[in-house]
Amino acid sequence: MSRSTILAHIEEQDDGTVTGIWEPYVLRSAFQPIFALGHDKLKVTAYEGLIRPFKDEQSVSPQDFFLAIPAAERLNVETLTRTLHVLNAGRLLHPEKMLFVNFDPSVFHARQIADMTLHEMRVTLNEAGIDPRRVVCEVTEQKSSSQQALAIFVEALRSSGFQVAIDDFGAEASDMERVEALRPNIVKFDARWISRLMETKPGFALLSVMVDEFVSKGITVIFEGIEENWQLEAAEAAGAHMVQGFLLARPEVVPGSFGASASVGATSSAGAAPAAFARHSHPTFGRRKSS
């Protein structure tokens, strides 16, 4: 689908944001902040673009929405969602923050498809006033047609000036071998996986070793799914560079209240940040029981 056709599925709203129309769904962008850890403070350094589908004015889960999309339309729908995120980010987000967008590698089975899609994305970025170097392309867990096709697609991302992230490291299709092959700039650790490891001292030790290995390779590490204070403390103690999760800020549908970054103790652009957390030489493991 050409860029002009994609734009035909986009409507501009009175508030300056854009929504997508993919009958019978209305698609809206949401952004979730990603926070950098450092000096006992958290600072918004990036946002992840997430799609929020609606049908008959009722919210539909993104998973159910994508399951309802025929395979032949998947590339076009994903291109539409990324276009929405880019255009809305250009209108609403701080110009210095990074933008994370998702790519399903299974739809890029030929370099020609990747090159065409990325060219159109660069045109949209230029229209939105976003430097491609601010964009992080998350390669999601859907399996590619082959490892070679995946490597070619990632190289196309890199050649276009984008940063590359592997999403959900620790889930079924992600492993150290994949990281070695794709050489990402960023690795996002799977939320459920790191939560299990954080529960015990041996698990936390393994987590710390893996983080150290990535850091030694110049790879930025993000812990996802931070929902409790003890997880935030453990992420900081393990050496994670960035964190993301409901404890810190939930995804917010545009136009929202997006603005400048915030530090811990202040109000972030997507809600109240948690109170400042203390450093612990030995973090507390497991869920804390209320007294």
Q: DSSP states of 178-239 as a string?
A: HHHHH--SEEEEPHHHHHHHHTSHHHHHHHHHHHHHHHHTT-EEEE----SHHHHHHHHHHT
Output the six-digit token pair for 163.
């940063």
The residue whose two tokens read 């560079």 is 241
* pLDDT by 10s per residue, the chain, length 291: 677 888 899 999 999 999 999 999 999 999 999 999 987 789 999 999 999 999 999 999 999 999 999 999 999 999 999 999 999 999 999 999 999 999 998 888 888 999 999 999 999 999 999 999 999 999 976 666 678 888 889 999 999 999 999 988 886 655 777 888 889 999 999 888 888 888 888 989 999 999 999 999 999 999 999 999 989 999 999 999 999 999 999 999 999 887 444 334 333 444 444 444 444 444 544 444 343
Output the six-digit token pair for 62.
């993104």
- Residues facing residue 218 across a β-bridge: none
Q: Which amino acid would we find at residue 68?
A: A
pTM of structure: 0.86
- Residues facing residue 169 across a β-bridge: 189
- Residue 35: DSSP 8-state: E
